Structure 1
Amino acid sequence: MKRVVITINRQYGSGGKTIGYMLAEKLGIPCYSREILQRASEESGINESMFNARDERLKRLPKFLLSTNVYSGELLPPESKEFTSDQNLFNYEAEIIKKYAAEGSCVLIGRCADFVLKDDPDMISVYVHADHDFQMKSALERVSMSEKEMEKYIERTNKYRSDFYHYHTGRNWDDAENYDLCINSGKLGFEKTVELIESYINIK
């Protein structure tokens, strides 16, 4: 199979991550999600907990949505005062995304991978979304919460993903113009969503 890199951004409860792993298995290629942070930690020498703490900190930052620090590709060295800054932590994640893509075909979940690889001609960007009821049903099957708690959790998670994407790319997370494919998994289900992405790969 010709090299292909599929990036997936997804609403919480849409099954985008599951779809990514299903697609990767069907194509016989690796899928990377949390592995991006783990490898970024290993190669930078920065404890993985700092990457996780950064995510939690940004979730609580009131002005996060309004600010941007668009990724430009620069990596700061260990002697820099900004070595463990939020932006440089993302820079290391982006470096790992580029390394995974350079190693061959793969599926990459989240972390603004579509923007990091925007100049890669073999990259296909996908945005997976679903209606409220599907998100709720899918999420409640995996996490034990009341419906009210889950509604708030989905809203917070999707807001954070949107803010994170805007912060590092200057783009709107749910803007269809940013993606090759926008798919409503609630209408198609996981297996048919995988089939649709695979069909697009074959056509392209």
Structure 2
Amino acid sequence: MSGNLVITIGRQCGSSGKIIGQKLAEEMGVKCYDKELLALAAKNSGLCEELFETHDEKPTNSFLYSLVMDTYSMGYTTSGYMDMPINHKIFLAQFDTIKQLADQESCVIVGRCADYALADYPKVVSVFITASDEDRIASLKKLYNVEEAKAKDIMVK
């Protein structure tokens, strides 16, 4: 484990968590990782980057999440890894990349379950950004240039 300070930011869709993370990283003089993590994880794992983008932060049911977390916490063997479904491999590759980043540098990580990946790291601050439904809808309307109904659809996905 490292002595690097890592701030993880979980957020509600439309709450401006990414913008807050970028501003925080800028103030701290460190990098902010969000979607950049997908490219790093793809490179480190040898899996196709498009797979990471396809599975990017898709909601998972608690059974799937617990299954992956159990596999991760118990360690995984090469043969076990080869037999895993692709979504498990992608999840584990992101976790490994997050841990490598935390070992290498201080940074801000937005999303990607970074708070779980770094739960045993001593110098991690995890925050969750939330906003009112009205503010989230307004943010999504502006970000995606869509009507309110479409913004609500995006918000609940």
**Band the TM-score falls in, shorter-chain normalisation:** 0.7 to 0.9
Q: How does 1:112-151 map to 2 (within 5 A)?
A: 112-151=113-152
Q: How does 1:7-156 map to 2 (within 5 A)?
A: 7-55=8-56, 64-67=60-63, 68-71=66-69, 72-73=72-73, 74=75, 77=78, 81-82=82-83, 85-156=86-157
SS in 2 for 1:150: helix
CA distance in 1, matches of 2:4, 2:62: 37
The Cα shift of 1:65 comes to: 2.4
Structure 1 runs not aligned, ≥5 long? 157-204
TM-score, normalised with respect to structure 2: 0.85
Indicate the percent of aligned positions where both proteins have the same amino acid.
32
The Cα shift of 1:88 comes to: 1.7
CA distance in 2, matches of 1:93, 1:141: 30
Q: Which amino acid aligns with 2:53?
A: N
| Distance change >3 Å, CA 88–CA 119, structure 1 → 2 | same
Q: Which amino acid aligns with 2:154?
A: Y
CA RMSD of aligned residues (A): 2.2
Deviation by residue 1:36-87 (Cα, 9 ceiling, x = unmatched):
110111111111111222348x55xxxx425232422535548954366211
TM-score, normalised with respect to structure 1: 0.67
Kept in 2, the 8 Å contact 1:14–1:130? The answer is yes
Deviation by residue 1:156-192 (Cα, 9 ceiling, x = unmatched):
1xxxxxxxxxxxxxxxxxxxxxxxxxxxxxxxxxxxx
Displacement over 6 Å in runs of 4+: none
CA distance in 1, matches of 2:106, 2:91: 22
CA distance in 2, matches of 1:31, 1:75: 29
Relative CO higher for 1 or 2, CA cutoff 8 Å, sep ≥ 6? 2
